[in-house]
A and B are shown apart, each in its own frame.
Chain A
Amino acid sequence: MNPQGRRVAVTGLGVVAPCGIGRDDYWRGLLGPGITAGKATEVADWDPSPWYSSPKEARRADRVEQFAIAAATEAFTQAGDPNGGLGVDPARFGTIFATGVGGLHTLEEQVEVRMTKGERRVSPFLVPMMMANAAGAAISMRWGLQGPNETIATACAAGTHAIGNAARLIAWGRCDAVATGGAESSATVTALAGFANMTALTSTGISRPFDVDRDGFVMGEGSAVLILEEWEHASTRGARILGEIVGAASNADAHHITAPSPGGVGAAACMRLALEDAGMTPADIAQVNAHGTSTPLNDAAEAEAARDVFGDDGPPVTSIKGVTGHPLGAAGALEAAAVLLSFEHRLIPPTANTKVVGLGIDVVTGDAREWEPGPTMSNNFGFGGHNGTVIISPPR
């Protein structure tokens, strides 16, 4: 990452998603059928107890924080130390996490408690459970990470922004390792009504990114946690390196609170900034993991931006949101997880449900596509005009 920073390895990965809990089940889920019925896809029969020492401790954490703790546990275990040390000075081990909303389920439940039982019955745990930074704070406390601990809340771009900022802390020398990623669980009745009334949600219940018949997203939830580590530190201790964060960028449309800028010019500028950060040209990119929400506006603008950056003969593009739905602030983290797994399995997961595209980009549909893993661009765009891009390379 520029300017001539230290190299950033990914050494840990953990996932909680409706299509699978744990990296392996998640990957199988990404290759499976897409969502064809519903406004939201949720982690079925979620039981937080394996990740908490008592029911009291679990009850004090909103579902969004429980997802983050479960994903972080897997990520630290994969990185080689369930207790999280990794031989890094705790003061130089950061936590840069993402969410779109935070503990919305808790807030909505407690609003109802106040309405029905009065102010004196509102839980003393409402505030620490609903606050957006709760998940990152919980990770920091559970694993004793005493470096910078910040939460990014740039709506649906938050996960990608978190990974980019986390990588920079290592590249620029402030940290030697950072736990990063994002979590979301905000498909409450009220939130779904809000998204539906603004016509962002699908009315057919089908998530089909870039398809000519797309009509909105299906709301998702879940978490992915990545452990980033300074490359030399990771290789010296013999860690298994899953990938390398080679570039990242962030910019703003400064155009409209929900609609992308016409022609996706903000998104295209962000992709170019990330390429510059990585010292790469568009021809170096072997896969684009798209934001691809399945909304008419996003997917059209994103396709136009990709054509602008990559030309008519660009790299294969996929969106996992046909399977995952749109998990808002966790989207970028779950997509980075998909990219890392696509390196490992040498397959690009298909854009589920999508049949006819017609946007002038090479969208991977039908079966997963075999590929020679190469630098992959992952994009996310958020309400508010936030754009985020990271470029992840296979380990070498």
Chain B
Amino acid sequence: MEEPIVDQELFGRFKKCAVEVLSVSEDQVVPEARFGDDLDADSLDLVELVMALEEEFDISVPEQELEGISTVGEAYELVAGKV
């Protein structure tokens, strides 16, 4: 079960980063989308995405916290919890 996305403003900023870094359309960036299978993103893409999110939200995401993150929803929750 994905957590419901409550803050549309925050998710909009998250989505903008993903669209830019991963070269995907806005429609693809939905909570259940898997980075590997659905967004064609490999591990280096995710490093770049995390950098963009850290800049956008002025947060820090240590590498170990990314373990087990495989969907947009999971990544969003991780970010939202730090903002």
Contact = CB atoms under 8 A, between A and B. Distances in A.
Interface residues of A, number: 10
B48 to A, nearest CB: 6
B44 A56 contact: no
Contacts of B47: 124
User: Looking at A54, A55, A56, A123, which has the most chain B CB atoms within 10 Å of its CB?
Assistant: A56
A125 B23 contact: no
A396 interface: no
B21 interface: yes
Contacts of A56: 21-23, 45
Interface residues of B, number: 10
Nearest to A123: B48
Interface string A26-65: 0000000000000000000000000000111101000000
Contacts of B23: 54-57, 59
Nearest to B60: A120
B33 interface: no
B36 to A, nearest CB: 14
A345 interface: no
Nearest to A125: B44
A121 interface: yes
A120 B44 contact: no
A57 B55 CA distance: 22
Interface of A: 54-57, 59, 120-121, 123-125
Interface of B: 21-23, 44-45, 47-48, 51, 54-55
Given A121-B55, A123-B51, 7 more contacts: A54-B23, A55-B23, A56-B21, A56-B22, A57-B23, A59-B23, A120-B54
16 contacts: A54-B23, A55-B23, A56-B21, A56-B23, A56-B45, A57-B23, A59-B23, A120-B51, A121-B51, A121-B55, A123-B48, A123-B51, A124-B44, A124-B47, A124-B48, A125-B44
